[in-house]
Amino acid sequence: MAGEELPVVSFGSLMTEGTTLARRGQHDKALGCFNDALKLRAGDKHCLITRSKCFLKLGDTENSLKDAEASLQIDNTFSEGLYQKAETLYTMGDFEFALVFYHRGRRLRPDLQKFQLGINKAEEAIINCIGNPSSVKLEGKEELCFVSRQAELQSKKASQKQQNKPKDQKDQKQTKKKSPKTEQQLLGQLYADKAYLEKLLKDEDLMQSSTRQGMKVMDLVLSGISYLNQRRDFWQQQKPIYARVYERKLLRQRWARGRKEKPADIARAIAKDMEDIELSLARGSAEESCRKAERLLKKIQAWSEDEVPNKNELIGNLHSCIGNAQLALGQMEAALRSHKMDLDCARQHFLTEAMSRALDNIGHVYARTGKFQQAINTWEEKIPLTLSSLERAWLFHEIGWCYLELDKAEVAQEYGQMSLESADEEGDVEWQLHATVLVAQAQVKLKDYRSAILNFEKALEKAKLVPSEAAQNGIIAALDNVSKSFIAELNKGHKDEMASSREDRLFSSENTKTTTENGEEKEKRS
């Protein structure tokens, strides 16, 4: 026993064991494996994300968010980190900020369907929170089914409180309310619902009636108004993104009074406006985002560098925001001009990160408009500016895809191999999948069916690890087509070989016959 060596516990084995336990639903045990793995390799972003998922499954949203943010501090372009942070924020009920990170992830990885699904569910959650008046239809006085369940559950308590209070005190409470304009800004679309409920209170006959369930209409209406007042007070306290119109108006008034503000105050105001611009685009309001960015750009251009130390960087960033909004609106030429202005600004002031961003966006515009060679030239210029293996994996894949669209399959295969090497270096399974598929597609065009089949099979294994059912179905269909082409080529080769063999035999028999006839003629002559 003393001579036996203890098994060496490696980072990879702990990750594998933890992943297996998590898939079985044993998240508490999996958490222990990931904790041990991080002791061996502190700060590994993939391990942080898997541990974040475990925390989220166990309901520990605080630690889940910490791990997701830690992975993004290591690599702010890490798509899994962006997705996990968005998922955690969504679970915590911060739907607006979750929506922002879903959109950031989709811009970085438009090929991943999960980001679009996240956007859809976050937008739906926001609508459910602030209400949608178009979905409310009142058909009769006796059917007030629009009142929420919470209002129905609280109605008995509300009725008891109303009975205990004097009538004049009740009326005084109803008349004490905030400015309609302020309430409208805080409640948003729910303001119309509150106004309707207050209007119903004036109908005395209706207030004396009851629903089919035996509940008084007046109690329901009052509890509904009480609920909306509570939401109003809550939103005023929290000041969510969609309720900051009044605050932004005050900021604009401060800017109009002059430039006497401190640089720190200006920086905070700009940061808030930049956040608003990004959120508008994330919500699909590209026109509003573009308009706000253009307005802020004019203000920043009018300020001095003493007031805004990073003025040049902000100007380039705003050109990029305008270009992204124009791209979302389908204004390709305008988007290209805006991103080129971002690139010129970055080159003029030696802003390497901004230059990389601008080249990335310009390449996207070219690719979207079918100008694949221009996209290739732009993205190849970006290669020396890449900062991570994951960024190179994505970039090589996009360049290879453009070459494939131009029917330059050999070059596409080379870039696919480079993308795969970068993905292997990063350890990113999804980009290993995309790169392997690209290599296989190039091999199909080169009619190297045997190699294409092998790579599609490897890609299928990667798709199972992701896991992605859509990718698996697509690869299986591609495998089927390639296999048919390979069999057809084999059959054609076999037929050609048989025909060639038949011709050789005929030629050989004719030669033999000719030789025999020549011999017989010689014998006759002799």
Please report, for the domain that includes residue 296, its CATH number.
1.25.40.10
What pLDDT shows up at residue 482? 81
Residue 151, token pair as written in the block: 């209002």
Residue 311, token pair as written in the block: 């003025």
What pLDDT shows up at residue 3? 45
What pLDDT shows up at residue 136? 47
- Are 228 and 282 in a shared domain? no
Q: Are 187 and 235 in contact (CB under 8 A)?
A: yes
Q: Which residues of 94-118 are buried (b: 16+ CB within 10 A; e: fewer)?
A: bbbbbbbbbbbbbbbbeebebbeeb
Query: E strand or H helix at 327, and its extent?
Result: helix 311-328
Q: Taking the C-alpha atoms of 380, 385, 389 and 395 in order, what is their torsion angle to the nearest 10 degrees?
A: -30
- Are 124 and 81 in a shared domain? yes
- Are 367 and 437 in a shared domain? no
- Are 264 and 374 in a shared domain? yes
Distances, alpha carbon 160 to alpha carbons 165, 207, 210, 219, 517, in Å? 9, 16, 16, 9, 126
- Are 476 and 359 in a shared domain? no
Residue 2 lies in a domain: no
**Residue 212: strand, helix, or coil:** coil
Residue 136 lies in a domain: no
What pLDDT shows up at residue 515? 59
- Are 281 and 378 in a shared domain? yes
Question: Which of 130, 158, 175 lies at the terminal end of a domain, its last residue?
Answer: 130
Residue 142 lies in a domain: no
Question: Range of 198's domain?
Answer: 188-208+215-256
What pLDDT shows up at residue 479? 83
pTM for this predicted structure: 0.49
- Are 294 and 362 in a shared domain? yes
Residue 413 lies in a domain: yes
- pLDDT tens string, the chain, 526 residues long: the values are 444 444 457 888 888 888 888 888 888 888 989 998 998 888 889 999 999 999 998 888 999 999 999 999 988 888 899 999 999 999 888 888 888 899 988 888 887 888 888 888 888 888 777 655 455 444 444 444 444 444 444 444 444 444 444 444 444 444 445 667 677 766 777 778 888 888 888 888 878 888 777 788 888 888 888 888 877 766 655 444 444 554 555 556 655 555 455 677 788 888 888 888 888 888 788 899 999 999 999 988 888 888 888 888 889 999 999 999 998 888 999 999 999 999 998 888 888 888 999 999 999 999 989 999 999 999 999 999 888 888 889 899 999 999 999 999 999 999 999 999 998 888 888 888 999 999 999 999 888 888 888 988 888 888 888 777 788 888 888 888 888 887 877 777 656 565 565 565 555 555 555 555 665 565 555 5
- Are 281 and 381 in a shared domain? yes
- Are 223 and 320 in a shared domain? no
Q: What's the structural domain count of the chain?
A: 4
Residue 523 lies in a domain: no
**Residue 497: CATH number of its domain:** 1.25.40
- Are 442 and 370 in a shared domain? no
- Are 102 and 70 in a shared domain? yes
Residue 400 lies in a domain: no
What pLDDT shows up at residue 151? 45
Residue 149 lies in a domain: no
- Are 201 and 252 in a shared domain? yes
Q: Are 398 and 428 in contact (CB under 8 A)?
A: no
Residue 98 lies in a domain: yes
Q: Taking the C-alpha atoms of 92, 147, 239 and 182 in order, what is their torsion angle to the nearest 10 degrees?
A: 170
